[in-house]
Amino acid sequence: MVLTLLTSMQWFYGPLWGSTLLLCDKRQVQRRGEPKRCLKWADVHARQLELLEVLRRNAMHPAVGEVHVIVGEAEPVQRFLRQLPWYQRRGHAMVHLAEVRKRPSFRTYMEYISRHLTGRTVVLTNQDIFLDDGWRGLAQRLPASTAYFVSRYHRRVAYDAHHSVAAGEALRYFNASDLPPSGAASGWLTPRRATAAADVGKRLCDMTTSSFRMWQRSLCSTLNFGSYDAYVLRLPTPLSAPVLDVFDFPQNAWGGENVFLYILQRALQLRVTNPCLALQAVHLHCELPTTFGARIVGDQRLGKKLVATTVQKKLRALGLEREAMRPEDIGKLTLNITDSLD
């Protein structure tokens, strides 16, 4: 048995996600040291390459049998993927695009699993998470009535995106010269003016640098404050519409993964652990890193208390909220890290 991976991918060249980009005009100057207030197309292109690399790594992982990707517009993504050798070789048989013309919520994923993937061991990942070591054989080893919430790793990752760059040029989304130069944590492994075609797309993302130190408590360590980026579960039967409605909140809500944990424990009665010492999931996000200032890409995030309060109200209506818990505490739910898959 192999794993089924479910994820999403922002496609910045379509109306769903493209409309959320706050792009700089020629008059706006970004001064050194200031927080970003707008985006340059060069950085958007680089982020798209990063997300395509995550998809490639997950599709090629030996423990993964299928990858299902929630996208806003399937046709242009399919057209892009068909240009890539890894997709032509293996990906076309295992990568399935599901077009959902709205921002995905936790309900989007749970409804997809409930409709299409019942009985399978599913790994639900954030769009910039790829599986690394420890996942072989997991499909048949997940205990009944158990789910895993897995915290991430930050690593130094080198990858070759020259096929994706060539596809972007062929489909006229961008030129290689449009892409950003080397930076402290990300950029080219070779000079931008390199003439060898094979060198054009060699990229580096080093998330072990001090630039990403603010996220150290989100990693797989005893410092983790309750941040999870991959989830493993198996639904034996489809969920009812009222239960699915409990999951109807944005994936990027503050503390959203903690509320997700709360629902699985209360509504589905699952035992949940965080075996991130055994299951390694790597975060690849050097391009367009998350900012806490002005919203420059994506949805504005909802607060923990608002989401938790709404979820509790729905659980009470279903008779599943037997022990009251303060909404602010739901957004802080944590799991001890472990290396046990029992």
Q: DSSP letter at 216?
A: G
**Under 8 Å between Cβ of 60 and 86:** yes
Which ranges constitute the DSSP H helices of the chain? 15-18, 41-60, 74-81, 85-89, 106-116, 162-170, 241-246, 256-266, 304-317, 327-330
- CA–CA dist 203, 298 (Å, integer): 24
pTM: 0.92
Residue 147 three-state SS: strand
**Under 8 Å between Cβ of 296 and 21:** yes
pLDDT tens-place values along the chain, 342 residues long? 899 999 999 999 999 998 888 888 755 555 555 556 788 888 899 999 999 999 999 999 999 999 999 999 999 999 999 999 999 998 999 999 999 988 899 999 999 999 999 999 999 999 999 999 999 999 999 999 999 999 999 999 999 999 999 999 999 998 887 776 544 445 655 444 444 444 667 889 999 999 899 899 999 999 999 999 999 999 999 999 999 999 999 888 778 899 999 999 999 999 999 999 999 999 999 988 765 445 566 666 666 788 899 999 999 999 988 777 888 889 889 999 999 998
- CA–CA dist 188, 196 (Å, integer): 13
Domain ranges (residues) in the chain:
3-330
Instruction: Give the residue from 150, 159, 161, 139 showing the smallest Cα distance to 66.
Output: 139
- CA–CA dist 149, 132 (Å, integer): 15
Dihedral angle computed from the Cα positions of residues 185, 297, 108 and 116, in that order, rounded to the nearest 10 degrees: -50
